[in-house]
């Protein structure tokens, strides 16, 4: 099964939600996922043309399929990170994680696989304080 999808991230609660589509053999599948990412405490910051800071991430996400019985949980592999930064009237929030399928229910009890999930949000403020928000999240991977 190959999955692709979208993502959103609430930085105030560290909650990630999204949707996905894919195929199992010749059958199309779709569904949602949700979970919690825990931010680490070790911060690393750089200043090039803007300030950018990064934290390690841990946590898990549960994928629930529409039209199929079951779900599976994927855990964050070491090396995931969340970042934020900006300069003047720009702020960017990002996260990048690799996920491994840890367990499944019903039809997905024997599931195994690997995913990459990334999310980026750019907020721009004009001189009048109006906000322009650009969000982009992607999910790619496979389950077998």
- Tens of pLDDT, residue by residue over 53-66, are 888 888 887 777 66
Cα separation, 117 vs 140, whole angstroms: 7
pLDDT value at residue 1: 52
What CA–CA distance (Å, rounded) separates 56 from 69? 34
Residue 74 predicted with pLDDT over 70: yes
Domain hosting residue 65, numbered range? 2-143
H or E segment at 96? strand 90-104
pLDDT on residue 42: 75
Lowest-confidence pick of 24-28, 107-111, 135-139:
24-28
Q: DSSP label at 108?
A: G
Euclidean distance between CA atoms 128 and 140, whole angstroms: 38
Query: How many domains, the chain?
Result: 1
pLDDT of residue 12: 62
CA contacts within 13 A on the Cβ side of 123: 13
Please state, in angstroms and rounded to a whole number, the distance separating the CA atoms of residues 84 and 60: 21
Render pLDDT for 6-29 as a digit per residue (tens, 0 to 9). Answer: 666 666 667 778 887 777 667 677
pLDDT tier for residue 5 given thresholds of 50, 70 and 90: low
Residue 50 has pLDDT above 80, yes or no: no
- Cβ atoms of 53 and 85 within 8 Å: the answer is yes
């Amino acid at each position: 099964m190959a999955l692709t999808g979208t993502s959103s991230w609430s930085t105030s609660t560290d909650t990630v939600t999204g949707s996905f589509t894919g195929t199992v053999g010749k059958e199309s599948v779709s569904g949602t996922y949700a979970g919690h990412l825990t931010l680490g405490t070790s911060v690393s910051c750089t200043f090039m043309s803007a300030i950018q800071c990064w934290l390690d991430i841990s946590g898990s996400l549960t994928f629930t399929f529409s039209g199929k019985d079951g779900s599976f949980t994927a855990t964050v592999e070491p090396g995931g990170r969340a970042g934020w930064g900006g300069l003047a009237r720009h702020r960017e929030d990002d996260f990048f994680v690799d996920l491994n399928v840890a367990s499944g229910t019903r039809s997905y009890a024997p599931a195994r696989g690997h995913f990459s999930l990334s999310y980026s949000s750019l907020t721009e403020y004009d001189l009048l304080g109006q906000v322009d928000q650009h969000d982009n999240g992607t999910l790619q991977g496979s389950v077998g």
